[in-house]
Structure 1
Amino acid sequence: MKWARVRNSDETESTGLVMDGMFHPRSSLGSDTASGDPIALADVTLLSPVVPGKFIGLWNNFKAAAEKGGQDHPTHPLYFFKADTSLAGPGAEVAIPVSAGRVVFEGELGIVLGNTCKNVSVAEAEAAIFGYTCINDFTSLDVLNADPSFPQWTRAKSFDGFGVVGPVIETEVAWQDLTITVLVNDRERQSYPANDMILPPAQIVSLLSQDMTLNPGDLIACGTSLGARPVKAGMVVDVAIDGIGSVSVTMTAPVET
């Protein structure tokens, strides 16, 4: 089942199911209760399918990238947070701030939580995963490495629009079978299998729940692999995962003030 969040023609926002070219409003994410009549997808605007309380990203979670970089495999997620204002959805324009310098795309698989998790087992974590989505975790390399005494993960990841999510949350997909692909101006630039993960989704959730309480709607980006590249204004960047869909944004120059 594919869940989406949309903006309606009257500027209100709704959450619901996408089926047969129609959007079926529901009272909340995962609810069976209808909250309106079905609407043609052409008559709504897709937004990020979830507004997370916590937007967590992982580093060094794919074997191929770790081996190329000479890094050990982590036994606990190496994670950072992205600001809530970094969230962007399908079709957004993402400005590259002057202060960001070099910016790279990172196509990733995203986990959306459906239940509260605190100190849960791997089996309990598996049951708590609501579904999966596509993420583009933009990163400012210049900001990240600007101060040798303190890698600035949060700042580098949190510029407005640097957390692209969508187009839907798919609840019926086997993550092991997925391939994450990034197209830049319709040219494939990144493609890697999800099953190359070092820490798989349920283990990620279980281990993070030892550090903090995870809540319904929290979003975890599973990390990226080889192939991340710089982007420039004018480029269209599309993260696609068969079985989920694709989320595309256009990079723009900073707005003059």
Structure 2
Amino acid sequence: MNKWVRFEHNGNIHFGKMDDTHITHYQGDMFTENEALGRVFALDEVTLLAPCTPTKIIALWNNFYALAEKQGNEIPQAPYYFIKPSSCVVGIGAAIIPPASYQGRIFYEGELGIVIGKKCKEIDVSQAEDYIFGYTCVNDVTAMQLIHEKEAFAQWSRAKSFDTFGAIGPCISTLSNADALTVRTLVNGRERQNYPIKDMIFSPAQLVSLLSADMTLEPGDVIACGTSLGAMPMKVNSKIEVIIDGIGVLENIYSPEVSL
């Protein structure tokens, strides 16, 4: 299992493989051909960035049996999803900042993210694993009151797409058994979410296959698998940690005082 990261050092952006204390510097393309350069950086001398630069984040709604049961939702026959733009992406340590155009509650949603490794279109489910590069943590931040603010049009994209509303990281892990994972979300150190990926209605392979039937998936694109029980509004200066063993901890601060 490898943990791939993007990082900044002395104003330059690089990528490499991370262990507990160091990053081994690589060159080339993270998703295709690359090679180690022999240089090693200590974690405390770099700034970790979002581990990939997706052309889009495809995010699922109603993809967990437990949440569907609690909310009284029907089990979908096909994935329900919305698109988050690349402009919303931030990495570990970045502030989550509410937009000036919205005054309502803003929710965290801890999720598993699938990172695409090869361009794919209309992929059979039996082939899907070959197109998954790895997995990351996602905080699918949501301006919840916007979604159904207007009866004429549900504003899913607007509610999910503000700058800083797509936190991903800290790495892309090439772990092999996503079904064994558990997503935990801590708010100021207090556990608010703890749910198993095996409760997903559509598995990672099914999601890649079904979504690739609708659109071309590009290397670095992220599929946010949806959240389960425990998503709640954030209070000012809350520290949000999305934790998935085998991937790591995605930590961000909800900080309305920061301006873009």
TM-score (norm 1): 0.95
Secondary structure of the 1:156 match is helix
Matches within 5 A, 1:23-172: 23-26=23-26, 27-30=28-31, 31-35=33-37, 37-100=39-102, 101-172=104-175
User: Cα distance 1:192–1:20, how it changes in 2: closer, same or farther (>3 A)?
Assistant: closer
> Which residue type is aligned with residue 236 of structure 1?
K
Q: Using the TM superposition, give the Cα deviation of residue 241 of structure 1 relative to its aligned residue in structure 2, in angstroms.
A: 0.5
Task: Give the residue type in structure 2 aligned to 1:18.
Answer: M
Tell me the distance in 2 between the aligned counterparts of 1:19 and 1:182: 23
Residue pair 1:173, 1:243 contacting (<8 A) in 2 also: no
Query: What does the per-residue CA deviation read over 1:156-180, in whole Å, with 9 as the maximum and x for residues that have no partner?
Result: 0011111000001100241111110
The residue number in structure 1 matching 2:15 is 15
**Displacement, 1:32?**
3.7
Deviation of residue 44 (structure 1)? 0.7
- Mapped to 1, the partners of 2:133 and 2:40 lie a distance apart of 23
Tell me which amino acid in the other structure corresponds to 2:4: W
Q: Which has the higher mean CA deviation after the structures are superposed, 25-34 or 241-250?
A: 25-34
- CA distance in 1 between counterparts of 2:65 and 2:83 reads 22
Q: What CA distance in whole angstroms lies between the structure 1 residues aligned with 2:211 and 2:203?
A: 12
CA distance in structure 1 between the aligned counterparts of 2:123 and 2:79, rounded to whole angstroms: 15
Match of 2:206 in 1: 203
Separation (CA, whole Å) in 2 of partners of 1:189 and 1:105: 10
Judged with a 3 Å threshold, the aligned counterparts in structure 2 of structure 1 residues 235 and 124 are, in CA distance, closer, same or farther, namely: same
Counterpart for residue 223 of structure 2: 220
Q: By how many angstroms is 1:19 displaced?
A: 2.8
Give, in angstroms, the shift of residue 14 of structure 1: 0.8
- Deviations along 1:80-130, one digit per CA (max 9) or x if unpaired, are 111211101111111122433111100000000011111110121111100
Cα distance between partner residues in 2 of 1:210 and 1:15: 31
- Coordinate RMSD, CA, aligned: 1.5
8 A contact 1:98–1:254 mirrored in 2: no
**TM-score, length-normalised on structure 2?**
0.94
Give the ranges of 4+ consecutive aligned residues of structure 1 lying more than 6 Å apart after TM superposition.
none
Superposition deviation, residue 34 in structure 1: 2.3
Closer, same or farther: CA 244–18 of 1 in aligned 2, 3 Å: same
Structure 2: state its 5+ residue gaps: none
Q: Secondary structure at the match of 1:205?
A: helix
CA distance in 2, matches of 1:159, 1:99: 10
CA 1:137 to 1:256, structure 2 compared with 1: closer, same or farther past 3 Å?
closer
Aligned partners of 1:96 and 1:233 also within 8 Å: no
Aligned counterparts of 2:15 and 2:92: Cα–Cα separation in 1:
15
CA offsets per residue over residues 54-98 of structure 1, 9 Å max, x none? 211010000001111111111211111112111011111111224
Which of 181, 184, 187 does residue 184 from structure 2 map onto? 181
* Overall identity of the aligned pairs, in %: 48
Aligned length: 256
SS of equivalent to 2:35:
coil
Gapped regions of structure 1 (runs ≥ 5): none
CA contact (8 A) 1:117 1:125 kept: no
Contact 2:110 2:137 in 1 (8 A): yes
**For the Cα contact (< 8 Å) 1:16–1:28, is it kept in 2?**
no
